Amino acid sequence: MAISARRWRWPSDTLAVRILAVGAAALVVLLVASIILHAGLMRQAIESGTTAIAAHRLAGAVETLAGAAPANRIALAQALSGPELEVTWNDAPMVPPGRWAPSDLTHAGRLGGVARELRAIPGELDTKHGTLRSALVSAQLADGTWVNARILAVSLLEADDTAFRVAIAAIACALLLGAAVASRVVASPLARLARAVRNLPLDGDGTLPPVGGPWEVREVAEALDTATKQTRELLRQRSLALGALSHDLMSPIARLKLRVHEMSRTDLQQRLLSDLAEMEGMVGDVLAYMRGGDGGGEPAVPVSLPALVQVVVDEFAEVGSTIEERRLDEATVLARPVTLKRAVRNLVENALKHGRDPWVEVRVSETEVEVRVGDRGPGLSPEDLARAFEPFFRGDRARAGGGGSGLGLPTGRTIAEAHGGVLELASTLGKGTEAVLRLPRIGPWSD
């Protein structure tokens, strides 16, 4: 398992949350529209009920005065008056001409049958207290006199919509829960597909497992599986061709070495041998890069990392290259020795070629072990550092020196990842470069 964490992401980046957000927004719009519509309908119902109550109250008073003798109408009007209704009888109307009562007031109150003319000024609805205030009605009787009534306050039962609001809230919660489940159901096949693609081996003939889900998701999975197989086959063919070419170059290089040794001119012989050694190193780098981190089938065994680093340092010392040995903590890793040695050797060789005063150290923590290789050279520019792990890339200084194949760092990273680790590079212009190879450690640990 690689020692690298997946980049944290905001929850809103997930498909499920975005689907839920769209559903929630639509639900909010629907609920707001429903509440506004409900409020309008409730207001209309209250006003209609208020009008009906007022009509019945007035109809009774008008019918009573119409059936009474004119001499008794004044006293009777006073008797019909109360805290919420003021009734008078006289020769003039209180409502000016042109003010007519609503048709529902006329029909509901049966006023059309007892009044020759009906005038009304509708009252204002007090929704806070559930009352109709200041309504004024003038009804002309058959003898030409007028019954005037002022509605001071008609009490109503205010609509209690608490139950409605509770029901709306419950429905909203249920719909949100349903939308969350639905979005999860829709997004889960894509999440399974992403995990399956992420877990596909870089080599081999692994295929995507069935991910289920909608037809579109299955189509994407099939397309990815087909593209993966085609890409693997293309890479396999190119790798075989490049590997075969690199391998075949080793034989003529070896023959050239033998012929160079037969030359009489020592200066030319040394230059040719140096060029052939560089060619041989490049071919070896290509072969190592093509093999990746599996080491050509080399088995993984427990390896003492300080001992392996010491062997690399000693090999460079045999050819006259001095490497400063700093802290070498004892640590054991599960690795392919020859392959891991190549990764460490590549790092040390880079420090020797492109820097000065190279050094190496091994540091151990509770879960991992670090091999640090650095130098005090000119360092890398930010542009070169960003491309340092690209295959066949060589910085300006390396190109000017004419050395290296540009595969040392890419090969080292591939080997590190094959061992469940990482390879990182840091550099400062004028101060040097430091490479850090991190691997998971095995065995007990003590600080």
Nearest in space to 187 (alpha carbons), one of 27, 18, 22 = 18
Q: In which residue ranges of the chain is CATH 1.10.287 found?
A: 201-291
CATH T-level fold of 201-291 = Helix Hairpins (1.10.287)
Q: In which residue ranges of the chain is CATH 3.30.565.10 found?
A: 293-442
Q: What is the dihedral of CA 253, 257, 262, 265, to 10 degrees?
A: 110
42, pLDDT greater than 80:
no
Cα 332 to chain centroid distance, Å, stands at: 39
Residue 421: DSSP 8-state: -
Q: Cite the beta strand spans of 68-112 per DSSP E.
A: 85-90
Compute the average pLDDT of residues 394-417: 70
Please report the pLDDT score of residue 304 as a whole number.
Answer: 92
394, pLDDT greater than 60:
yes
How many helices (H) and strands (E) the chain has is answered by 11, 14
pTM over 0.75? The answer is no
pLDDT band at 1 (very low <50, low <70, confident <90, very high): very low
Q: Is 73 exposed, middle or buried (0-12, 13-18, 19+ CB in 10 A)?
A: buried
- Where is average pLDDT lowest: 51-55, 117-121, 215-219? 51-55
Sequence-separated (6 or more) residues with CB below 8 Å from residue 366: 445, 447
Structure tokens, 355: 């820097």
How far apart are the C-alpha atoms of 115 and 113, rounded to whole Å? 6
Q: Is 292 left (phi over 0), alpha (psi -120 to 50) or beta?
A: left
**Are the beta carbons of 123 and 150 closer than 8 angstroms?**
no
pLDDT digit string, tens, across residues 423-444: 999 998 888 999 999 999 886 6
Supply φ then ψ for residue 439, to 5 degrees. Answer: -135, 150
pLDDT band at 118 (very low <50, low <70, confident <90, very high): confident
Cα 439 to chain centroid distance, Å, stands at: 31
Report, at the CATH architecture level, how domain 293-442 is classified. 2-Layer Sandwich (3.30)
